[in-house]
Amino acid sequence: MTATRPGETLGALSGITLIEIAERPAGENTGKLLSDFGATVIKVERPGGAPTRHMGPFKNGESALFAFLNTNKKSVVLDLASPEDRATLDKLLARANGLIDDHDEAWGARHGLTSAEVAAAHPHLVHCAITPFGQGAPAEWQNARSINVINAGGWAYHSPSEMPHEKPPLKGAGRFLPDYESAIDAAMATLASLHRQRRTGKGQFIDLSEVEVQLNRIDCVLDRMVAGDADPSDERTAYDMGGPGTSFACKDGHIYLFMTTKGHWNGLRQLMGDPDWAKEFREDWLEFDCTKDNVVRFREKFSEWIAGQEKLAITEAAQKGGVAMVPVNTAADLPQHEQFIHRGFFQQAEHPVFGTVSYPTVSYKMSATPVRVVSPAPALGAHDSEVEAL
C-alpha cells in the first residue's frame, strides 16, 4: 500500500489491491483512475517494459505517455511465458481484489488467463477485460487499434469537422480517445464489482467493448443518421452542424464560433458594435438564407474583425451575450487557465527525468479523500524486490 506522509489522509480505495497486466492505454488508464483513488495498483510488465514505455512523445528518452498513465503504481517485471513467473502472478492474484487486462482472447488462452481460467483459480477476483469488440469477436477483429475503434464507433467524423475546404482540418482529440473513454466505463464497472465483492466475497468477469463505449457516447449527428434524417457519407463536411461557424485566427491564437440561430446572430452583431457589413444580412439568414455565398461573405468579414481581438476576453464577452464562441486552447494554455487554477485541476509532482510536472487530475473534488498524485510512474521493475510483500 502507498505510504502516507504525516497529516495526509488515505485514499477512498486504500486497502484495495489491483493487478494490472494491461499493456494498452485503455487498461493502463483504468488502473490509473483507480490508483488515483488510493488503490494499490501493481503493474506487471514484460521483460523490457510495457509497450507504452516506448511510445512518444519522449523527453530525454522517457515516454510522456507512460508517465501520465502510470502515476501512483508499482512496477513488477514478470515473463508470463515462464512457468515460474506465471506462478508468481497467481500468488499476486490470490491476494488481490481485482485484475485489469486489455489483451485479446488468444493472448489470454496462451497465458492461462481466460475468463474461465481466472474464475476457476481465483473465484474472489474482479476480472475486467477491455477489448475492441468484446469477448467472442472474430479473431481478425481482435487486433483492432484505437483508430479502428474510433471509426467503428462512428466518432472519427469529428476530425475534421466544421472546416471549410480551403483550410486544413482541425486536429482531432488524439489517437487514444477510445482508450480514455473506455477506461472511464471500465473503472466504473470495476468499482461496482468491488462493492459487490465486499458484500459477498465473490468476484465476477467484466467484458467491456470499446466500440460499444463509443456508441454509448452517441451525439446528435449520429442520432440524425440513425433516425434517417441524414445519410452516411464520406464527404469531409458531411456531418457538420451547418452555418458559418468554424475556427478563426485572433490576436493571440484562435477562437471557435458556432452560430445557427437568429439569437446567435443578434448577439454577435451587438458584440461587434453592429458594423455596416452585418446589416447586409437578413436577421434570420442563419435559418432561412444560409447560402454558400453568404457563408463565404460572413467568414471573410468576421475574420477581419476577430483578428484584432484577444481570445479569452472576446470569448468571455461573447458568452455573456449569448454567442457560442470559445477559445481554442493549446496544451500549454491549460495549466495557466484561470478556471483550472481555481479548481486545482493540475497537481504538481516531481518526476525523476522530467522534473516538476503539472499532472491533470479529475473533474471532481472529494472532501475526505481527495485525489492525489503521490508518486510518479515507476521505473521498470522498481518493486521486484517487494513481490512477496505486495
Please give the pLDDT value at position 270. Answer: 97
pLDDT tier at 64, thresholds 50, 70, 90: very high
User: Of 280, 298, 328, which one is at a domain's C-terminal end?
Assistant: 328
Please give the pLDDT value at position 1. Answer: 37
**Same domain, residue pair 24 and 63:** yes
**Same domain, residue pair 279 and 381:** no
Please give the pLDDT value at position 227. Answer: 81
Q: What are phi and psi of 351, to 5 degrees?
A: -115, 135
Please give the pLDDT value at position 224. Answer: 74
User: Of 302, 328, 354, which one is at a domain's C-terminal end?
Assistant: 328
Please give the pLDDT value at position 155. Answer: 79
Q: Does 304 map to a domain?
A: yes
Please name which of 354, 333, 355 lies closest in space to residue 346, comparing C-alpha atoms: 333
Q: Is 268 exposed, middle or buried (0-12, 13-18, 19+ CB in 10 A)?
A: buried
In whole angstroms, what is the distance from residue 206 CA to residue 135 CA?
Answer: 10
Q: Does 231 map to a domain?
A: no
Q: Does 230 map to a domain?
A: no
**Same domain, residue pair 380 and 266:** no
Q: Does 236 map to a domain?
A: no
**Is the model more confident about 152 or about 120?**
120
Please give the pLDDT value at position 10. Answer: 85
**Same domain, residue pair 187 and 47:** yes
Tell whether the torsion through CA atoms of 221, 224, 228 and 231 is positive or negative.
negative
Q: Are 133 and 141 in contact (CB under 8 A)?
A: yes
**Same domain, residue pair 353 and 322:** no
Please give the pLDDT value at position 78. Answer: 98
CATH code of the domain covering residue 271 = 3.30.1540.10
Q: Does 223 map to a domain?
A: no
Query: pLDDT (tens digit, 9 = 90+) per residue, 281-316?
Result: 999 999 999 998 999 999 999 999 999 999 999 999
- What mean pLDDT is predicted for residues 351-368? 92
pLDDT tier at 230, thresholds 50, 70, 90: confident
Does the pLDDT of residue 164 top 70, yes or no? no
Q: Does 11 map to a domain?
A: no
Query: pLDDT (tens digit, 9 = 90+) per residue, 366-378?
Result: 999 999 999 999 9
In whole angstroms, what is the distance from residue 60 CA to residue 63 CA?
Answer: 9
As for how many domains the chain has, the answer is: 2
Does the pLDDT of residue 162 top 80, yes or no? no
Please give the pLDDT value at position 161. Answer: 59
Most confident option among 11-25, 161-175, 231-245: 11-25
Query: pLDDT (tens digit, 9 = 90+) per residue, 66-98?
Result: 999 999 999 999 999 999 999 999 999 999 999
- What mean pLDDT is predicted for residues 241-265? 90
**Same domain, residue pair 49 and 164:** yes
Please give the pLDDT value at position 31. Answer: 98
User: Of 275, 298, 328, which one is at a domain's C-terminal end?
Assistant: 328
pLDDT tier at 2, thresholds 50, 70, 90: very low
pLDDT tier at 350, thresholds 50, 70, 90: very high
Q: Does 359 map to a domain?
A: yes
Which structural domain, as residue segments, surrounds residue 140? 17-216+346-389
Please give the pLDDT value at position 254. Answer: 93
The whole-chain average pLDDT of the chain stands at 90
**Same domain, residue pair 60 and 166:** yes
